[in-house]
Structure 1
Amino acid sequence: MPLEGGIEPLPVAGKLCFASLGSGSKGNATLVSDGETMVLVDCGFGLRDAERRLARFGVHPRQLDAVLVTHEHGDHLRGVGPLARRHAVPVYITPGTWLSGRLGEVPQRHWITPQSRFAVKSLTIDPITVPHDAREPVQFRFESRDCRLGVLTDLGHPTDHVAAAFRGCDALILECNHDRHMLEVGPYPPRLKRRVGGNWGHLANVQAAALLQCLGLDRLQRIVCSHLSEHNNRPELALEALTPLLDGDASRLTIAAQDSGLHWQAIH
């Protein structure tokens, strides 16, 4: 739990841990640390907001060893450039995402090649291609000290490639973007509904459940429902979709919220 003053420390030194600064259509960012290395996956918040959210976890931006970028959409990229330029944080990005022209110059840029493993200090990272309406989108699997974390959001549909890449994780941050009925009857115009619900958009709750079943549940200690739509989903619907796979035991499930994010989680 947070310390006095709202600052929350790493829960277990030397363990692979993760936390969410916030998740949803207004901004996404995920912290990953093993005690030696700390990276930020995406930064979809403005600079001041990102600094404030990092401070909740007792993290100064200069403590970050890297920002890893999944794709160029604003809710994932908005704060990456400003954060990197002000605090000299290295940025890891695919060439396709870079060529979108939305990042701007950064002090240190490293290319990500999808399906090619790389390391940031003690963290081993696998960038995995996913079906999403971006130039060269990837999601990430992290490994440290025999623990594995999958960060898997912003994909339009489950694929065999994705399932194979994320099988065997100890914890998984999984997109549960929308409830299909809420999207159908909701306020979005038809074109946006088709985009969100299409094969290159976002995962519905039922798709997340189907993918989770393919991945296997025995090893998963923690499953985080993320990137919930403000207009087309509710936390209880996401949980209802996944809980039956766990024989009704929802203790391994949690939600990464848009405003409050998710406090540090340790993988044992």
Structure 2
Amino acid sequence: MVRYCSLGSGSRGNATLVADGDQALLIDCGFSRKNVLQRVLESECPVEQLQGVLVTHEHSDHAKGVQSLCEALDIPFYCSHGTARKMQWQSHELWRCITAEEAITVAGIQVMPVVVPHDALEPLQFVLRSRADRVLGVLSDLGSLTPHVLSHYRQCHGLQVEANHDPFMLQNGPYPPSLRARVAGQYGHLSNQQCAELIRASLWSGLQSVSAGHISEKNNDEQLVRQMLAQVLSCQPEEVQLLSQDEVSPWQQLN
């Protein structure tokens, strides 16, 4: 049975643990090796079950602990050629090159890399299909919802998505104008409204679980996220599942 949890989500580090049976993989490792191993321990997933790390892009809150962790565990890491070039991983023996729209299998899970609009060299996000044919869509770090992205994230059984900022808080917050423009731009991050639009476009009878993360500590407020997403999910605001920067989330299981 496929299940997943966030080991932490936000501008100071991101990692998502996905397990199917007695095998598991990580999506991103934006924490130190020591920190992420502690979080894996907190999740109660045996570290020896980890079979590899999928890397979305080179930004440090997603990639800084990847090489150290994989070398310590002697497991491969998977990313685009552009990400590997930016991180100087091209000659690393544990690097495996992946390409958008070409599925691979890691830890018994079929992984489809999806190209997204973000200000990185060759960013990818991932849709994962378990051996029991359950589909998990993990999506963050993109500035716009292209038809291509929306087509890949339809009919997922589980969604872990980004609700990075509230536009009003961003424009009136502490960031300098250049950084505000970057975050709000077509290659930046999704707003609460865009997150709601994504979820609305992805609603179907098989959707079992939705969680939102990468929530800005300076340009967003959890209550705003809850109110926005509760309208789309037809639930109470307190029922909306939000991911924390500093805490491991509960496991979500896709039946």
Pick the TM interval, shorter chain.
over 0.9
Q: Is the 8 A contact 1:221 1:252 kept in 2?
A: no
**Which SS does the other structure have where 1:230 is aligned?**
coil
Amino acid aligned to 2:244: A
Paired amino acid for 2:121: R
Q: Is the 8 A contact 1:88 1:107 kept in 2?
A: no
| CA shift in 2, pair 1:102/1:206, >3 Å | farther
Query: How far, CA to CA, are the matches of 1:253 and 1:237 in structure 2?
Result: 11
The answer to whether the 8 A contact 1:77-1:103 is kept is no
Does 2:126 match 1:140?
yes
Residues 152-200 of structure 1 show CA distances to partners (whole Å, capped at 9, x for unaligned) of: 0001011100000010001100100001111011101110000001000
Instruction: Check conservation: 1:32, 1:39, Cα contact below 8 A.
Output: yes
Measure the CA separation in 2 of the matches of 1:105 and 1:97.
Answer: 13
- Of 154, 159, 165 in structure 2, the residue corresponding to residue 178 of structure 1 is 165
Residues 173, 156 of structure 1: alpha-carbon distance in 2 compared, 3 angstrom cutoff: same
RMSD: 1.6
Stretches of structure 2 lacking an aligned partner (at least 5 in a row): none
Shift of 1:262: 0.9
> For the residues of structure 2 that align with 1:234 and 1:218, how far apart are their CA atoms?
29
Question: Shift of the alpha carbon at 1:246?
Answer: 2.2
Residue by residue over 1:224-267, the C-alpha shift from the partner in whole angstroms, topping out at 9 and shown as x without a partner, is 01100111112111111111112244576301100003121111
Q: Residue 190 of structure 1 aligns to which amino acid in structure 2?
A: P
Render the CA deviation track for 1:41-72: whole Å, top value 9, x for unaligned: 00000111111111101235443101000000
Residue 177 of structure 2: which of 179, 183, 190 is its match?
Answer: 190
Query: Aligned equivalents of 1:175 and 1:154: distance in 2?
Result: 7
| One of 16, 20, 23 as aligned partner of 1:37 | 23
Q: Would you say how many aligned residue pairs link Structure 1 and Structure 2? A: 254
Equivalent in the alignment of 1:10: none
- Which segments of structure 1 move beyond 6 Å, counting only runs of 4 or more? none
**What do the CA deviations read for 1:124-147 (whole angstroms, capped 9, x no partner)?**
111000000001101001111021
SS, match of residue 99 in structure 1: helix
